[in-house]
A and B are shown apart, each in its own frame.
Chain A
Amino acid sequence: MRKVESAAAAIAEAVKLCDVKVMPMYPITPSTLIPERLSEFVNNGEMDAEMIHVESEHSAASAMIGSILCGARSFTATASQGLALMFEILPIISGLRLPAVMAVANRSLSAPLNIWNDHSDSVSARDQGWIQLYAESAQEALDTTIQAYKIAESGNVLLPVMVCIDGFTLSHVYENIDVPERGEVDKFLPAFAPEYALDPEKPLTFGPIVFPDSFMEFKKAQEEAMENSAKAIAKANNDFGKMFGRKYGNGLVETYRMDDAEHAILGIGTLCTTSRSVVDKLRANKIKAGMIRVRCLRPFPKEDLQKLAKKLKTIAVIDRHISLGFEGALATDVKSALSELRKKPFIACHIAGLGGRDITEKHLEFALKQGMRKKAGGWLL
């Protein structure tokens, strides 16, 4: 069914289609539209689910642990300081191997207080064992949310997934979207059937203490699950494409005009849409430009980027985040991934779009041209 919706509403539509049973919610701008829409669905009887009005984001994440352990497919949404308050629970969810799905409408972290978009909230949480997928459009936000449950619940994965959308730039922007039929989604995503769930008839212990003699084995198993998830993400993207006719690159990385490209803009989220038109403009001026969009930040698509970088002379990495005291986290990851290449492209790393600052075509063209002139990156103010 065709609709005109924002990415936040598109995610709510996806959650309804996935037959989510429990949604602990503590609304925070710019993710608020998601619980708002979901509560309408519950109220109208369109969704048979429990919405828990928790007292904080910490409780929202904690309540998801309980609901998933009871065998209920669960969902929450947050942003910025809300995600920061959940931080304590993030590694518990992933360590317990619970297939939670959470939408993050990316917003800067205070202070100074600011409600607008950058990636400092979710990128700061990237080490906590959550798969992180970043959407570029409202349609992709909807599709990724459905794929997220498929990936999270895969037998050799069982890890939580964050579906990240740029706050306002995507969460509040209305687009034409195609909402799949419930029956089709049911075929793609079977009912949640966890191997271990709380049951008074069969007592189990979840979350026991693990001593130094085996803690590392559990972390290694988690890392192996992360490695497995790369295949699950690619498979979910492919299978989804076959059923619904929409694909996003190989699931981990999406490219634009990269076949014969020599210079590429590399980024995450909506800035890639702007990059596409910059690439077109540069191509019209006989510059062999291309765009690489990192759709999946964790697991990091190292091999994909190595393959793409081999033929490149320049990469301009655009970070909507800064690890204060060093550089953007995406830049660090890209440089680390490409360090094994014998012939490396010149990598210019730029900080842009913090706290909702627009990233314009001018910024991106400047960033790439700086790199082409072998000049280091900087702040795109």
Chain B
Amino acid sequence: MQNKKINKGYKLLIGAVIDEPGSSEKNKTGSWRTFIPIIDQEKCIKCGICWMDCPDMAIKKNADGTFAIDYAFCKGCGICAKQCPTKVISMKLEGK
């Protein structure tokens, strides 16, 4: 019996070697989220602490100095909301 849905399109190399860097970008982890962080851009002071502390590098720096959360990868851990010195990131229940 063959498994059709195999490994999200990755190659099955010996010993599970991955021979191309950057493969973690293919693996979207946003669906793991229970709580979703939302930045109040009006009150944000653009200090960048959320961007620095995000353990998944799911916060991007925009050209105008603002920050945006990449919801394709954000797992909703809430570290950004906890660390934000002005408390402008709120954690809302996903889908509400």
Contacts and interface: CB of A to CB of B under 8 A. Distances in A.
B40 to A, nearest CB: 35
Nearest to B21: A203
Interface in A215-237: 216-218, 221
B19 A204 contact: yes
A217 B10 CA distance: 13
Interface in A181-212: 195-196, 203-208, 210-211
B18 A214 contact: no
B63 interface: no
Interface stretch (B1-9, B52-60, B65-73, B83-91): B1-9
Given A213-B7, A213-B8, A217-B3, A206 B23 contact: no
Contacts of A221: 12, 14
A61 B80 CA distance: 39
A276 interface: no
Contact of A214 (B12, B15, B23): B12
Interface stretch (A18-26, A94-102, A323-331): A94-102
Contacts, number: 54
B14 A196 contact: yes
Contacts of A208: 16, 18, 23
A66 to B, nearest CB: 14
Contacts of A207: 16
A216 B19 contact: no
Given A203-B21, A204-B19, A213 B14 contact: no
B17 to A, nearest CB: 5
A135 interface: no
Contacts of B12: 214, 217-218, 221
A214 B14 contact: no
A205 B17 contact: yes
B3 A98 contact: no
Contact of B17 (A196, A214, A216, A217): A196
Contacts of A97: 14-15
B14 A217 contact: no
Nearest to B18: A205
B16 A210 contact: yes
Contacts of A216: 3
Interface string A65-105: 00000000000000000000000000000011110000000
A316 interface: no
A260 B33 CA distance: 71
Contact of A218 (B8, B16, B21): B16
B12 to A, nearest CB: 6
A205 B27 CA distance: 15
A98 B6 contact: no
Contact of B14 (A195, A203, A210, A211): A195
A156 to B, nearest CB: 10
Which one of B13, B14, B15 has the greatest number of beta carbons of chain A within 10 Å?
Answer: B15
A204 B15 CA distance: 12
Interface of A: 95-98, 158, 195-196, 203-208, 210-211, 213-214, 216-218, 221
Given A97-B15, A196-B17, 18 more contacts: A98-B15, A158-B15, A196-B13, A196-B19, A204-B18, A205-B17, A205-B21, A205-B23, A206-B15, A206-B17, A208-B23, A213-B5, A217-B3, A217-B6, A217-B7, A218-B15, A221-B12, A221-B14
15 contacts: A95-B16, A96-B16, A97-B15, A196-B13, A196-B15, A196-B17, A205-B17, A205-B21, A206-B15, A206-B17, A210-B7, A214-B6, A216-B3, A218-B12, A218-B16
